[in-house]
Amino acid sequence: MILETIAENYLWFLVAILVVNLYQRKFAPRSFRKRTATLIIASLAMLWQIFIVIILSRGWPHWLAVPALFITFLVAIPFRRRILLFRTSCAECGVKLPLTATINYDDNLCESCWAKAHPEEAKEIEEEEIEEEPLLPTSSDARKVEDIDWDSWEPTETAVLCYLFDGDNVLLIEKKTGLGKGLVNAPGGHIEEAETASEAAMREITEETGVSIDSVDHRGILEFQFTDGLAMRGHVFFTHRHTGEIHETEEANPFWCPVTNLPYDRMWEDDPLWIPMALEGKKFHGRFIFDGEKMLDSELVELEEEEM
């Protein structure tokens, strides 16, 4: 019964051996010896299969398959050095080899040891891989707005700016800490966990200037990609009512400034682009590329109310 099963399934075993042999061809010339080994193994398996077929067709005792197998091993002895090539550990450092290396690499070396033994070939392969699979640019590599896929872009930080108007004046700050230190800006900062953008705007203006407000109007969205990897989305708010008096804080030095005389030369380079639009009552969406405090590129569009 066992011999009949072997005879019936031998073809599948032979197919498996040939598939392995075809797979080994992908790793030429490093797989030449092991490709030969698989062909020899397939030939020996075929020899034993011939013995089994003869035994079954002649009706001989099945135990004769054992000496037939012994004869097959005797035939294999002259080829033993060409067959016993498959190892599961690196011949140089002893590290466990992946199945790919065990089946295919004649020298039974891990990639690291092979590269040390064949530095020129390893360098050529590395150069070919770089040419075939160039690294995709990241957002921090961008120098133009169009270099970024904004549909998949995600900010690493989200912040707010809040412009408080009192008649013809607007409340600005000279920033004393953090990003933009020394520049003039509106009060603002990061949105905290479980806090809305409008809540953050009202909190930040109090923390940085001392005054309190009870409502804000969302005017626009600013998205910044910095070459150092920082990606920031900012929400811009306007408000016209407040209580309290301004005073200097640890984070900022606040001051009132005429709306008609904004100190753009002391502000971020993107401010002159969108602030006039916002002062005209327009909604906006801006995208900017910065290298430190230097603006490299910009894109600014006016939005309809429903787009906000």
Contact 298, 289 (CB under 8 A): yes
102 lies in some domain: yes
Nearest to 183 by CA among 268, 270, 258: 268
- Whether 303 and 207 share a structural domain: yes
**pLDDT, tens only, 224-255:** 999 999 999 999 999 999 999 999 999 999 99
- Of 222, 203, 223, 221, give the one whose Cα is nearest residue 213: 203
Q: Are residues 220 and 234 in contact, defined by beta-carbon separation less than 8 angstroms? A: no
For residue 256, is it within any domain?
Answer: yes
Question: Mean of the pLDDT values across residues 206-210?
Answer: 96
Question: Are the CB atoms for 65 and 4 separated by under 8 Å?
Answer: no
Say if residue 156 is in the same domain as residue 56: no
pLDDT of amino acid 60 = 87
Specify whether 117 is located in the same domain as 193: no
pLDDT greater than 60 at residue 307:
no
Answer yes or no: is 137 within a domain: no
Confidence of residue 214 (pLDDT cuts 50, 70, 90): very high
Report the domain count for the chain: 2
User: What's the average model confidence in pLDDT over 121-149?
Assistant: 72
In a domain, 253, yes or no: yes
114 domain-assigned = yes
In a domain, 140, yes or no: no
Q: Would 261 be classed as within a structural domain?
A: yes
- Give the residue from 104, 132, 160 where a domain finishes: 132
Tell me which of 10-24, 153-167, 196-210 is least confident.
Answer: 10-24
Give the confidence band of 46 by pLDDT, cuts at 50, 70, 90: confident
Q: Residue 135: what pLDDT?
A: 46
Burial class (CB in 10 A: 0-12, 13-18, 19+), 4: exposed
Model pTM score: 0.57
Q: What pLDDT, on the 0 to 100 scale, is given for residue 136?
A: 47
Q: Are residues 111 and 210 in the same domain?
A: no
How far is the C-alpha of 256 from the C-alpha of 221, rounded, in Å?
24
Residue 42 one-letter amino acid: A
User: Burial level of 9, CB count in 10 A (0-12/13-18/19+)?
Assistant: exposed
Instruction: Calculate mean pLDDT across residues 134-156.
Output: 82
Q: 121 and 169 share a domain? A: no
State which of 110, 132, 154 marks the end of a domain: 132
Q: Map residue 62 onto helix, strand or coil.
A: helix
Q: Do 114 and 14 sit in the same domain of this protein? A: yes
What is the C-alpha to C-alpha distance for residues 220 and 170, in angstroms, rounded to an integer? Answer: 17
Q: Which residues 6+ apart lie within 8 Å of 209 measured at CB?
A: 164, 171, 173, 187, 246, 247, 249, 252, 254
188: containing domain:
145-307
* Average pLDDT rounded to a whole number, residues 149-164: 95
Same domain as 162, residue 57: no
State yes or no: pLDDT of 265 exceeds 70.
yes
Q: What is the CATH number of the domain that holds 216?
A: 3.90.79.10
Task: Say what the pLDDT of residue 181 is.
Answer: 93
Pairing of strands 157-166, 188-190: antiparallel
pLDDT at 132: 52
| Same domain as 275, residue 172 | yes
Return the percentage of the chain with pLDDT > 70, whole number.
Answer: 94
**72 and 159 both lie in a single domain:** no
**Both 116 and 149 in a single domain?**
no
* Per-residue pLDDT at 48 exceeds 70: yes
| DSSP SS3 for 38 | helix
Q: For residues 235 and 297, state if they share a domain.
A: yes
* SS3 at position 13: helix
Does residue 30 fall inside a structural domain?
A: yes
For residues 164 and 241, the answer to whether their CB atoms sit within 8 Å is no
State residue 130's pLDDT score: 54
Above pLDDT 90, what percent of the chain?
A: 50
The rounded distance, in Å, linking the Cα atoms of 57 and 237 is 93
Mean pLDDT of the chain, nearest integer: 88
pLDDT value of position 184:
97
Looking at the fold, whether 234 and 265 belong to one and the same domain comes out as: yes
DSSP string over 267-280: B-TTHHHHHHHHHT
Query: Do residues 73 and 42 lie in contact, with contact meaning Cβ atoms separated by under 8 Å?
Result: no
Q: Taking 90 as the threshold, does the pLDDT of residue 259 lie above it?
A: yes
| Domain end position, chosen among 83, 111, 132 | 132
Tokens coding 154:
């995600």
